[in-house]
Structure 1
Amino acid sequence: MYQPNTIIDHIANFTSQRDTELLAFSLLKSVSNMMNCSSTKIITINKKGDIRSHISFENNHCVVNKTSVEIGGVLRRTFEHMNESSLEAFTLKTKTGYSIIRLLHHDRKSEQFLIINLQGQMGKDHAYILSGILSIYSNFITLLNESQTDELTGLANRKTFDSAISSIFNALPHDYDNVENERRTQNEITAQERRKFWLVMIDIDDFKRVNDKFGHLYGDEILIHLAQIIRSNFRDEDLQFRFGGEEFVILLSAENQMRCIQIIERFRRNVEEYQFPNVDKVTVSIGVVEFKKGTFHVTSIDYADQALYKSKKSGKNQVTFFEDMVSQGIAKKSDIPGGDVDLF
């Protein structure tokens, strides 16, 4: 039987986290240590049935995979069965033992399952402890999500943006085309390192006029519908924020600027063609900048804002790239590179 003080230590550890991914790491480690599992994993699936993330803990190491991951047909059917039958727990007999499957969390976007692989059946004491820990985890992640989510639109809020954008910036790959002392050949640079990211700032055109004419309730309804369009036009891995008021920010992954233009222009047209209730037409102006390691992230936000202002000034309902403004001589980059800035 596990000692109560050790259980409390595990609970204190994972509830000290303020990042959902780190929270998942901590939970997997705690469960693995307490249950003596061969492996544990957390799988998150969106409403379309696609895997959003796959976090596994084995040999005292966590591995995260946010790309396309295939899971076995038996496991997928088990998830579907649990969903259809409103089951929160299911035990699956395997060739090597048992898989204990627990529904960790669900919301309007996704479902999260915990899979514990054991050589034998779980005892009653361990099952009781596990249920208690997962109840605490579920309550905690609900509170964490609520604190990080904009109440009206359901997108991540400005507070989350401020903390997330710094973490994302630190994890960005280097801009190998512009690093003078980079000696690795192009063949040695991985596909992950070649990924490009784009900071997309979106603002609803003439939103104040809508509020003044129809009232704030109709204005809120437009914000809700626009958030739905954002979710349907961008992938789950493209981070989506309500930046404030009628302004939204997307951190988009695209292999090059041409592909980025295609994605954002499709979104702009879909907004223009959408039948918003009580309002004849709603459009958005958009500013975009490539999000690079070589440019401090606060500066990148300013660049995107400059591009957004250019879209507004040039007639609205259009997309402007900051890089195009620089090439046209109507904007210039800051003299302070990202690597030279120290925060205190």
Structure 2
Amino acid sequence: MYQSSTIINHIANFTSQRNTELLAFSLLKSVNSMISCLSTKIITVNKKGEVRDHLFFENNHCTVKDNSIEIDNVLRRSFEHMHDSSLAALTLKTKAGYSVIRLLHHDRKSEQFLIINLNEKMTKENDYILSGILSIYSNFIQLLNESQTDELTGLANRKTFDSAISSVFNTRPREHKEVDSERRSPNEIIVKENHKYWLVIIDIDDFKSVNDRFGHLYGDEILIHLAQIIRSNFRNEDLQFRFGGEEFVILLSADNQMECMQILERFRRNVEEYQFPNLDTVTVSIGVVELKKETFHITSIDYADQALYKSKKSGKNQITFFENMLSQGIAKKSDIQGGSVDFF
């Protein structure tokens, strides 16, 4: 039987993580440490049966792939069988030995499976240990998701924003990379080469009057509908936050200002045309600034907020870029930039 100190160390490692991907890496590391495995991996499959993420452990390193991945038919049919039969565990006899498949997590978007490949069938002792590890993983990932999610809209909350934006200029490629879980930043944004990133602040026009006319419960319903529109209009790689009240923030990837404008204009128009209950029209005002490595993110938020104020002041239901305000001479950059602060 494993020493209790070993198990406690793994529990401590789990609970030190503040990011779901890091937590998955910690799980793979723990399973490999405590059970003699040929290989272990975690596969996330969306509702269309497409592999969204593929994490695996080899040579004492965790590696992640999130490009287009094909899995063999046996594994795919196993996932489908577990889904149709509501099974949480399945063991397969393979040419190399055995494969143990455990359902880790599922929601309306995807299902996440742990696959453990073994030379021999898993012992009762190891199965007991694995069940305990997975119970801790399941409980903690639920707590982690709750702590980082806005309760009303289901979007990421303000608390997760700082750690996300602080890693926006980490340019390591994500496809097929080794991950040092001790150094990798939580909520890391993986930057695509030659792409620009934009900080977008979205504010519902005249939201106070909606609350005054219909009450706060109806106002909450408007926020929920808007969050759904945000999810459907932006990509998974475009991180989406509710900052509080009627204010939302997007970290948007786009090659240039014109592409960014096209994406946001489509969103603005979709909001305007959406049939909100009891209201003829709901509109949003938007402020945007390009994220720059040399600019503090607090300063970038201020720039985007200035652009949002310009959208409001100019008639609402429109998009303003801070860069355009600079070129028009109606705004100026802060004297304090990211690389100009002296500490003494």
TM-score by length of 1: 0.88
Deviation track 1:85-124 (CA, whole Å, cap 9, x = no partner) reads 2111122333433322211122333322212222322111
Q: 1:53 corresponds to which letter in structure 2? A: D
Aligned twin of 1:330? 330
Aligned twin of 2:267? 267
CA distance in 2, matches of 1:342, 1:42: 45
Q: Where do residues 30-109 of structure 1 align in structure 2 (5 Å cutoff)?
A: 30-109=30-109
CA distance in 2, matches of 1:52, 1:343: 44
Deviation track 1:303-322 (CA, whole Å, cap 9, x = no partner) reads 11111111111111111111
CA distance in 1, matches of 2:266, 2:35: 49
The secondary structure found in structure 2 opposite 1:282 is: coil
Q: How many residues align?
A: 326
How far the C-alpha of 1:328 sits from its partner, in A, is 1.9
Asked if 2 retains the 8 angstrom alpha-carbon contact of 1:149 and 1:155, the reply is: yes
Asked if 1 retains the 8 angstrom alpha-carbon contact of 2:242 and 2:248, the reply is: yes
- What is the RMSD of the two structures over their aligned residues, measured on CA atoms? 2.2
Aligned twin of 1:299? 299
Q: Where do residues 168-183 of structure 1 align in structure 2 (5 Å cutoff)?
A: 168-169=167-168, 171=170
Asked if 1 retains the 8 angstrom alpha-carbon contact of 2:171 and 2:192, the reply is: no
Structure 1 residues 342 and 27: alpha-carbon distance in aligned structure 2, compared to 1, 3 A threshold: farther
CA distance in 2, matches of 1:48, 1:227: 23
Q: 1:171 corresponds to which letter in structure 2? A: N
How far the C-alpha of 1:272 sits from its partner, in A, is 0.8
CA distance in 2, matches of 1:343, 1:64: 38
Q: 1:9 corresponds to which letter in structure 2? A: N
Corresponding position: 1:29 with 2:29 = yes
Aligned twin of 1:237? 237
CA distance in 1, matches of 2:342, 2:117: 45
How far the C-alpha of 1:334 sits from its partner, in A, is 2.5
Q: Where do residues 101-250 of structure 1 align in structure 2 (5 Å cutoff)?
A: 101-166=101-166, 168-169=167-168, 171=170, 192-250=192-250
Asked if 2 retains the 8 angstrom alpha-carbon contact of 1:169 and 1:297, the reply is: no
Structure 1 residues 262 and 331: alpha-carbon distance in aligned structure 2, compared to 1, 3 A threshold: same
CA distance in 2, matches of 1:212, 1:255: 41
Aligned twin of 1:283? 283
Structure 1 residues 45 and 37: alpha-carbon distance in aligned structure 2, compared to 1, 3 A threshold: same
Higher helix share: 1
Name whichever of 59-68 and 261-270 sits farther off.
59-68
The secondary structure found in structure 2 opposite 1:194 is: coil
How far the C-alpha of 1:263 sits from its partner, in A, is 1.5
The secondary structure found in structure 2 opposite 1:36 is: coil
Structure 1 residues 116 and 153: alpha-carbon distance in aligned structure 2, compared to 1, 3 A threshold: same
Structure 1 residues 217 and 20: alpha-carbon distance in aligned structure 2, compared to 1, 3 A threshold: same
How far the C-alpha of 1:2 sits from its partner, in A, is 2.6
How far the C-alpha of 1:256 sits from its partner, in A, is 2.5
Structure 1 residues 341 and 56: alpha-carbon distance in aligned structure 2, compared to 1, 3 A threshold: farther
Asked if 2 retains the 8 angstrom alpha-carbon contact of 1:42 and 1:54, the reply is: yes
Q: 1:169 corresponds to which letter in structure 2? A: V
Aligned twin of 1:180? none
Query: Gaps spanning 5+ residues in structure 1: where?
Result: 174-190
How far the C-alpha of 1:211 sits from its partner, in A, is 0.6
How far the C-alpha of 1:136 sits from its partner, in A, is 1.0
CA distance in 2, matches of 1:25, 1:93: 26
Structure 1 residues 201 and 76: alpha-carbon distance in aligned structure 2, compared to 1, 3 A threshold: farther
CA distance in 1, matches of 2:52, 2:334: 36
Asked if 2 retains the 8 angstrom alpha-carbon contact of 1:199 and 1:288, the reply is: yes
Q: 2:107 corresponds to which letter in structure 1? A: D
How far the C-alpha of 1:51 sits from its partner, in A, is 3.5
How far the C-alpha of 1:165 sits from its partner, in A, is 2.3
Q: 2:136 corresponds to which letter in structure 1? A: I
CA distance in 1, matches of 2:340, 2:44: 38
